[in-house]
Amino acid sequence: MIHMVVFAPIVVAGGAFLGFAHEGFRRKRLAAAISNRTAGVASAGRLGDHSVEVIAVDNLTQLKYAERSAHIALGVTAAGLLFYPPMGLLSLPFIGYSAYNWLRARYPSEREWQWLKAPSTTLAIVALTASLLTGYWIISALVLTIDLRARRGWASPRYQELHRRFIQRARIGLRRALLGEPRWEWFPVLLARVSLGMFFAISGWNKLFTAAHWTGLLAAMQSTGLPFTKFLALFLASVEFYGGALLTIGFLSTLWAIALAFAMVVAIITVEIPHVIPPGLGPLDWLAWFLYLPQVMYVILFLWLIIRGPGPHSVDAYIARKLGLDADKDSDPAIKRQDDKVLNTPDSDLVPA
């Protein structure tokens, strides 16, 4: 056992020395290749590009040789376990060669020796050392095979392109998760406008043409103590019906959104706060009751529609397109410059002499 503990590291070190010698020979060939390849383009100023390209090819070659050596070590150790255990000794120089290249090679996105700081690298080094000391050399060969294959695949142009696409899609997905999808903004605008419009149109229709709803509206208006309750009830029901119907199709949407929002504010002040919210509540409880009122949510949605507009699928948008008013001056520099010129021009210059 003692002689194996001494003999195994020596054989592994011998394989590592072979890797060191091979790397030195390869570096000389690399320097010659760089000088030959860049000799003809020295005047073009592209020496750095050629050098980087040659170095990248050499890194792939180093990984390829190391991976082949790890494959041989894995095959020899597996054959030793299955047929003749002493055969596993033949895998030690291949393990040493692969381990040296494994330590020297790096991932394309990392600097020299930076990858050694990664926790996965620490675990791999521990596994390699433990397997060499305990005689389970197949673990060393397996770890080297997997890691070197991953590095060579990662360094290849195909995997680099896949990685670039993955990063781009991940960034797009993260941006959509954080900021939303502007291309589909028209759908919630359309859904909110049509839903609110249909709700108030149906509510106004029932109040105008259904006796039970009309009686309930009159009773609610009379309980507020406001004068001209019949006129106000008729006015409110008409605003709800006509405003909701025109808001559904998106005609004069801003005007009807303002009118309906004002009606909801009046309903909150005259009916909901005095008669729905229980008296004697604390500030937080009162705020919870206030935000629970549906009229408050209606006002917020109307305010959003007033600022955002009715969306592209509306009569207002169709009219704006026909009049050439649909272009956004913030997104069109020409329109922005024209508007700024008009706004900054003195009134006396606009009046003809």
C-alpha 228: how far from chain center: 57
What is the structure's pLDDT at 44?
A: 46
**Token reading at 281:** 């509540």
169 plus 262 within the same structural domain? no
Whether 334 is in a domain gets the answer no
15 plus 145 within the same structural domain? yes
Sign of CA dihedral 327, 333, 334, 336: positive
CA angle 246, 250, 256 (to 5 degrees): 55
Residue 135 three-state SS: coil
Measured distance CA(125)–CA(117) in Å, rounded: 11
Measured distance CA(111)–CA(214) in Å, rounded: 79
Q: Give the residue ranges of DSSP H helices in the chain.
A: 2-38, 47-82, 91-104, 119-134, 137-155, 157-179, 186-209, 211-223, 229-249, 253-267, 273-275, 283-292, 294-308, 315-323, 333-344, 347-350
Whether 285 is in a domain gets the answer yes
225 plus 80 within the same structural domain? no
Q: Which residue has the tokens 């389970």?
A: 136
What is the structure's pLDDT at 43?
A: 45
Whether 345 is in a domain gets the answer no
78 plus 41 within the same structural domain? yes
Measured distance CA(88)–CA(100) in Å, rounded: 19
Whether 6 is in a domain gets the answer yes
Whether 352 is in a domain gets the answer no
Whether 346 is in a domain gets the answer no
pTM of the model: 0.52
Radius of gyration of the chain (CA): 39
97 plus 198 within the same structural domain? no
Measured distance CA(52)–CA(56) in Å, rounded: 6
69 plus 207 within the same structural domain? no
166 plus 213 within the same structural domain? no
24 plus 131 within the same structural domain? yes
154 plus 211 within the same structural domain? no
168 plus 215 within the same structural domain? no
What is the structure's pLDDT at 38?
A: 61
Under 8 Å between Cβ of 146 and 128: no
Under 8 Å between Cβ of 1 and 82: no
Q: Which residue has the tokens 């991976």?
A: 67
Q: Which residue has the tokens 């990685």?
A: 163
198 plus 288 within the same structural domain? yes
- Spatial neighbors of 46 by CB under 8 A, at least 6 apart, are 38
Mark which of 126, 157, 174 sits at the end of a domain.
174
The C-alpha torsion from 215 through 217 and 218 to 224, rounded to 10°, is 150
What is the structure's pLDDT at 22?
A: 74
End-to-end CA distance of the chain: 111
Whether 337 is in a domain gets the answer no
Measured from the Cβ of residue 47, the count of other Cβ atoms closer than 10 Å reads 15
Whether 353 is in a domain gets the answer no
Residue 226 three-state SS: coil
Measured distance CA(85)–CA(270) in Å, rounded: 94
**Token reading at 52:** 């980087």
> Residue 151 is part of which domain span?
2-174
What is the structure's pLDDT at 45?
A: 47
Sign of CA dihedral 65, 67, 70, 72: negative
Q: What's the number of domains the chain is made of?
A: 2
91 plus 229 within the same structural domain? no
Under 8 Å between Cβ of 79 and 90: no
Ordered per-residue pLDDT tens for the chain, 353 residues: 444 566 677 777 777 777 778 777 777 776 776 676 666 554 444 444 445 555 555 666 777 777 778 778 878 878 777 776 777 677 778 877 777 777 776 554 555 555 556 666 677 778 777 877 777 778 888 887 877 777 766 666 777 787 788 888 888 888 888 888 888 889 999 999 999 999 999 999 998 888 888 888 888 888 777 778 888 888 889 999 999 999 999 999 999 999 999 999 988 988 888 888 888 888 899 999 999 999 999 999 999 999 999 989 999 999 999 888 875 544 445 545 555 554 555 555 544 44
